[in-house]
């Protein structure tokens, strides 16, 4: 079990604390584990020092709850408000449309760069044929073909960067959605 799995399981057992206190405890232990790993202690050694996630959760809950009260391990279902439901049904089509437009622009950039590179290569081949009839026209065509091919390479690089940007935007939107629609009401 790595530290992320450990903290995920610990979070499940800490559900009686409430979301804010749960987040604070998880943040504290994530930092504690990270500090100990940075100081040279192996990850599995740090986790074994803490005990199992359930043992640690029992200790934490015992410190925060009154004596005699048994900690609950079942997470209460989260409540959905009318605002969340309406917001979801209105916002999601707009988000999907915006992402579809974004990705269609990315695909068109890729198609344009491939077209420029292919056109440049074919024009280079054609310029050698033109050189047999007119050396000046063939050299001029060769220069334009090399320029178009180089422009296609720059467009391919730009397309790649734009696709990475699209992926980052999609990840941020998804994370914001998950944060918004999964937190407690």
Token pair recorded at residue 135: 């050396």
Give pLDDT tens digits for 165-174. 999 998 988 8
What is the percent of the chain with per-residue pLDDT over 90, rounded to a whole number?
38
What is the reported pLDDT for 18?
78
pTM, 2 dp = 0.48
pLDDT of residue 81: 66
Please say if the pLDDT value at position 145 is more than 60: yes
Contact predicate 102/166, CB 8 Å? yes
Chain-centre distance for alpha carbon 12: 23
Which pair of structure tokens corresponds to residue 32? 């504690």
The pLDDT, as a whole number, for residue 142 is: 94
pLDDT band at 93 (very low <50, low <70, confident <90, very high): confident
At residue 153, the pLDDT reads: 93
Single out the residue of 55, 56, 34, 54 nearest to residue 46, CA to CA. Answer: 34
Given pLDDT bands bounded at 50, 70 and 90, which one contains residue 100? very high
Helix H segments across 67-134? Answer: 82-131
Percent pLDDT > 70 in the chain is: 86
Sequence length of the chain is 185
Residue 19, SS3 per DSSP = helix
Residue 39 CA to residue 56 CA, distance in Å, equals 22
pLDDT band at 181 (very low <50, low <70, confident <90, very high): low
Does the pLDDT at position 126 exceed 60?
yes
- pLDDT tens digit sequence for 10-69: 888 888 887 888 888 899 999 999 888 888 889 888 898 988 989 988 888 887 764 344
């Amino acid at each position: 079990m790595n530290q992320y799995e450990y903290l995920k399981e610990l979070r499940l057992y800490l559900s009686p604390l409430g979301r804010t206190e749960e987040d604070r405890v998880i943040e504290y232990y994530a930092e504690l584990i990270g500090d100990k790993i940075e100081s040279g202690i192996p990850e599995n050694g740090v986790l074994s020092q803490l005990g199992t996630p359930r043992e640690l959760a029992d200790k934490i809950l015992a410190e925060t709850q009154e004596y005699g009260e048994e900690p609950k391990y079942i997470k209460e279902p989260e409540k959905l408000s009318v605002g969340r439901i309406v917001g979801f049904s209105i916002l999601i089509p707009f988000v999907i449309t915006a992402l579809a437009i974004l990705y269609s622009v990315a695909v068109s950039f890729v198609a344009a760069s491939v077209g420029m590179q292919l056109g440049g290569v074919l024009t280079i081949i054609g310029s050698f044929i033109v050189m047999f009839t007119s050396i000046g026209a063939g050299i001029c065509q060769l220069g334009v073909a090399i320029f178009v091919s180089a422009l296609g390479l720059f467009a391919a690089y730009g397309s790649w960067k734009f696709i990475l940007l699209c992926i980052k935007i999609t990840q941020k939107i998804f994370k914001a959605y998950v944060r918004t629609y999964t937190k407690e009401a």
